[in-house]
Chains A and B, each alone.
Chain A
């Protein structure tokens, strides 16, 4: 069985400050982990993915995430938020079932 918990349903940051979106996962198999972003009324776009290579994964638009097996975490970070980062972010796990399990999402608001 696999599951994903996104620890914050809403996060607000000021433009230019760091972003941290938290994700914990559970999987009985060595998982693949993904972060997707969804802008209003749009489909989901892949930000980055972890597939058992380097534990620090760099994605698009300056985002990165670190896979920590001991903490079963895959938190998403960005050093400096931009107004265009305002969106909903989904942490996703994929394991032996070869199906994606989505977290419930974190809504990121960027304040001017």
Chain B
């Protein structure tokens, strides 16, 4: 099992460009999440999908959109990238959307917006 995979690993964008970060999990999990990690701030939730067919905003959703393509895949889109979106992005999944569930994280995508 690969667990949670993310592509690309690293990306450089110019301000105003768009891109989609891809995430897939092979653990048959119902819930998936996108986080961003900034220095000294821990991880902050951008969007989540409690189950296939549903998506909801997290703590910092502005400037992002998501798509739960199927049970395995959950993508994050930046329509018009800004320097403030320079960050490391992590996708995670859990069996269900419950506060006791362990979340499993991908290796991250490092995004630099110039």
Q: Is there an interface contact between A32 and B40, defined as CB atoms closer than 8 Å?
A: no
Q: Which of chain B's residues have a CB closer than 8 A to the CB of A99? A: 45, 48, 58-59
Q: Which of B13-21, B64-72, B79-87, B95-103 is the contact stretch?
A: B95-103
CB distance from B54 to the nearest CB of A (A): 13
B44 at the interface (CB under 8 A from A): yes
Q: How many residues of chain B have a CB within 8 Å of chain A?
A: 23
B44, B97, B102, B107 pick with most chain A CB within 10 angstroms: B102
- Contact in complex: A90, B99 (CB < 8 Å): no
State the CA gap A94–B102 with chains docked (Å): 10
Contact string, B36-48, partner A, CB cutoff 8 A, digits 1/0? 0000111111001
A72 contacts B by Cβ under 8 Å: no
CA of A98 to CA of B56, assembled, Å? 12
Within the complex, the shortest CB–CB distance from A35 to chain B, in Å, comes to 11
Whether a CB of chain A sits under 8 angstroms from the CB of B61 is no
A36 and B48 CA atoms in complex are apart in Å by 19
Chain B stretch 83-114: residues in CB contact (< 8 A) with chain A: 90, 92, 97-100, 102-108
Is B76 interfacial (CB-CB < 8 Å)?
A: no
The residue in chain B whose Cβ has the minimal distance to the Cβ of A100 is: B103
Evaluate contact between B90 and A98: CB separation under 8 angstroms.
Answer: no
Shortest C-beta distance, A31 to chain B (Å), equals 7
* Partner-A contacts on B (CB < 8 A): 4, 40-45, 48, 58-59, 90, 92, 97-100, 102-108
